[in-house]
Chain A
Amino acid sequence: MRADGEVILEVRDLVKHYPLTQGILFKRQVGAVQAVSGISFDLRRGETLGIVGESGCGKSTVAKMLVNLERPTSGQIRYKGEDITKLSGRALKAVRRNIQMVFQDPYTSLNPRMTVGDIIGEPFEIHPEVAPKGSRRQKVRDLLDVVGLNPEYINRYPHQFSGGQRQRIGIARGLALRPEVIVADEPVSALDVSVQAQVVNLLERLQDEFDLSYVFIAHDLSVVRHISDRVAVMYLGRLAEVGTDAQIYEHPTHPYTQALLSAVPVPDPRARTRRERILLAGDVPSPAHPPSGCRFRTRCWKAQVKCAEVVPPLEVPDWFREGGGGSTHESACHFAEERDVLPPTEADPG
């Protein structure tokens, strides 16, 4: 566990609202899609923070704000103490060098008309101070080697590669400027199972080799557990629960986390009968009209009047503070309580 590193990224009360407008000539705002509604977390050096959530929960919007592809409506993202949301020009460019992104779809995130060498070398055009012109080809070859591709492929085009190989190219591009933080948005979800394992192992090896911090965004809870030191669960623009992987998976205290975990199919047919399923009713509400109070209350079996009136803060619940063991982690629920929802493992009797 690398929880002892310095804090490299501090996110505070991050909000992103997309305005909904009406009218063509005289546009007026009639509402807002509240994609992200005030989330805070820290990322430490060398750590992997996993962010999980279902589609529409705002996890990709968070990713875009972290790499400054979207400007937040309010809130701060402090990189080594400096708020990057206010930066522009040269200062922003310098920060961007250190926070890079790996995208989900290896088919659309690489320009089909550029060679692999040009794709991976393009960051050097923007940041020429990293690699002088003469040394760039060699740097690209080294990068190909680092991500496990043959350096001879430098003049090939993306279509000549498989999905897994293309994702390696995307990772090489992300590594080119030797960043400190990599934001990976669903980096393995488009890949087949056997190839997915190769890319996950590559990401882990690179983290050790280059002392990288990862923000790893995914909907696959098994992959997130495997790769993350800490996990944040998102629901409808807010964080529901944050903790170490063992706290979140073995001692979940938020009802949404519990429902989410209980719904994931486990590759073990014996789990069918030995496992409790929490089936949620209905769909996620629209982020344009989120419920008052706790956003999960419309699907929650524990919801009471209080949940509609008071937004539950993300904090360690009082009753867990002393002697709560695994449950002493932040959970945004008025009625947080621990519930074991994973199937018993082989070691357990029964």
Chain B
Amino acid sequence: MEHQEAQPVLLDVRDLQVEFRTRDGVAKAVNGVSYSVGEGETLAVLGESGSGKSVTAQAIMGILDSPPGHITGGRVFFRGEDLLTMPAETRRRVRGAKLAMVFQDALSSLNPVLSVGAQLSEMFEVHEGMTRKDSRAKAVQLMDRVRIPAARERVGDYPHQFSGGMRQRIMIAMAIALEPDLIIADEPTTALDVTVQAQVMDLLAELQREYNMGLILITHDLGVVADVADKIAVMYAGRIVETAPVHDLYAAPAHPYTRGLLDSIPRLDRKGQQLYAIKGLPPNLMAIPPGCPFNPRCPRAQDICRTDRPPLFAVAPGRTSACHFWKDTLDES
């Protein structure tokens, strides 16, 4: 039921490469990432800190800290047009109206000295040339839409006067204000409590359905992914190591890293014995090991893994895995 491959492709990232040039050396944060999202589709990008999942999103949005960050290769097609090569002014217009982003930390993403109403109505004044009064009314409407109680009374309040969950709703209101085609949400609920997280994820899913938006959900939480994603891209050391439709991935991962992640999380619905722990640490991005970047931590590593970098093998329709032994991994699950 979730295989909606026929949806027109919105965003198509191809072989994206990003590096950070620092005093200590060059950190290769993104090393040839490709993924795509269709209309109304949810892609979850899963990874631990330093996997490059957020940097990829920043490169897509054009908000990479530069310097030290540099896009050194690849293309980002949005409805067939390459965002990376279009003139800055055109790109700015596309980004404002068609692409939107929701960040993890709403308190530091909102302007503390402007009321939330002013920040919301500014969007309509700048992008749609509305008058003050009209834009204010739109702001109240939006706050209502994301279910902020007593929106009319609270439109003049400042960000610090709202709770964490309410602030995240305001972030979402700003993201959907111009009815974008695609939202990139970077850990949108990580800072929230679980009951509030459920409210916010529900709201996001509902708005996505209503506007038929594409959604890229960047997260480290395997639970959230299982709840909302259509398909998943697992990242490790700046690479995608596995892509799969959500049900297939949880039923039988085709990469040892994904397998390890699934085995290492404690479960709410059953009491396990000892947790499986992936040994070692994620690699230093300035010295990514040759061959498969996961090889020093992999229980399956052979000589070939230390010398030959595995490409993304086609495992099944819509499924890829960057493991020389994907077949064995898949069979074992």
* A265 engages B224 (CB within 8 Å): yes
Task: Kindly list chain B residues whose C-beta atoms are within 8 Å of the C-beta of A267.
Answer: 222-223, 225-226, 250, 262, 265, 267
Of A246, A263, A269, the contact of B226 (CB 8 Å cutoff): A269
| Complex alpha-carbon distance, A342 and B271, angstroms | 13
Q: Pick from B58-66, B132-140, B275-283 the stretch touching chain A.
A: B275-283
Q: How far is the CB of A31 from chain B (nearest CB, A)?
A: 19
* B194 engages A271 (CB within 8 Å): no
Q: Is the interface of A mostly helix, strand, loop or mixed?
A: helix
Pairs A-B, 9 closest by C-beta atoms: A265-B223, A226-B266, A197-B264, A54-B193, A263-B198, A197-B277, A194-B278, A192-B48, A267-B222
Q: Could you list which residues of chain B lie within 8 angstroms of chain A, going by C-beta atoms? A: 48-49, 149, 163-166, 193-199, 201-202, 220-227, 229, 246-247, 250, 260-262, 264-272, 274-279, 281-282
* A223 engages B266 (CB within 8 Å): yes
The residue in chain B whose Cβ has the minimal distance to the Cβ of A198 is: B277
Task: Kindly list chain A residues whose C-beta atoms are within 8 Å of the C-beta of B262.
Answer: 267
Q: Does A249 contact B (CB under 8 A)?
A: yes
* B165 engages A283 (CB within 8 Å): yes
Task: Kindly list chain B residues whose C-beta atoms are within 8 Å of the C-beta of A263.
Answer: 194-195, 197-198
* A264 engages B247 (CB within 8 Å): no
* A269 engages B194 (CB within 8 Å): no
* A222 engages B267 (CB within 8 Å): yes
* A283 engages B166 (CB within 8 Å): yes
Q: Does A32 contact B (CB under 8 A)?
A: no
Q: Interface digits, A253-273 against B, CB 8 Å rule (1 contact, 0 not)?
A: 000000111011111111110
Task: Kindly list chain B residues whose C-beta atoms are within 8 Å of the C-beta of A221.
Answer: 194, 268
16 A–B pairs (Cβ distance < 8 Å), ordered by A: A54-B194, A54-B196, A193-B220, A193-B222, A194-B260, A197-B265, A197-B275, A222-B267, A249-B269, A265-B201, A265-B227, A267-B262, A269-B227, A269-B229, A269-B247, A280-B199
Q: How far is the CB of B25 from chain A (nearest CB, A)?
A: 17
* A283 engages B196 (CB within 8 Å): yes
Q: Could you list which residues of chain A lie within 8 angstroms of chain B, going by C-beta atoms? A: 54-55, 162, 164, 192-198, 200-201, 204, 219, 221-223, 225-227, 245-246, 249, 259-261, 263-272, 277, 279-280, 282-284, 342-343, 345
* B223 engages A264 (CB within 8 Å): yes
Task: Kindly list chain B residues whose C-beta atoms are within 8 Å of the C-beta of A269.
Answer: 226-227, 229, 246-247, 250
Task: Kindly list chain B residues whose C-beta atoms are within 8 Å of the C-beta of A164.
Answer: 281
Q: How far is the CB of A247 from chain B (nearest CB, A)?
A: 12
Of B164, B195, B247, the contact of A270 (CB 8 Å cutoff): B247
Task: Kindly list chain A residues whose C-beta atoms are within 8 Å of the C-beta of B198.
Answer: 263, 265, 277, 279
Of B194, B265, B279, the contact of A193 (CB 8 Å cutoff): B265
Task: Kindly list chain A residues whose C-beta atoms are within 8 Å of the C-beta of B224.
Answer: 265
Q: How far is the CB of A257 from chain B (nearest CB, A)?
A: 11
| Complex alpha-carbon distance, A55 and B163, angstroms | 11
A192-B48, A201-B277 are contacts. A260–B264 as well, Cβ < 8 Å? no
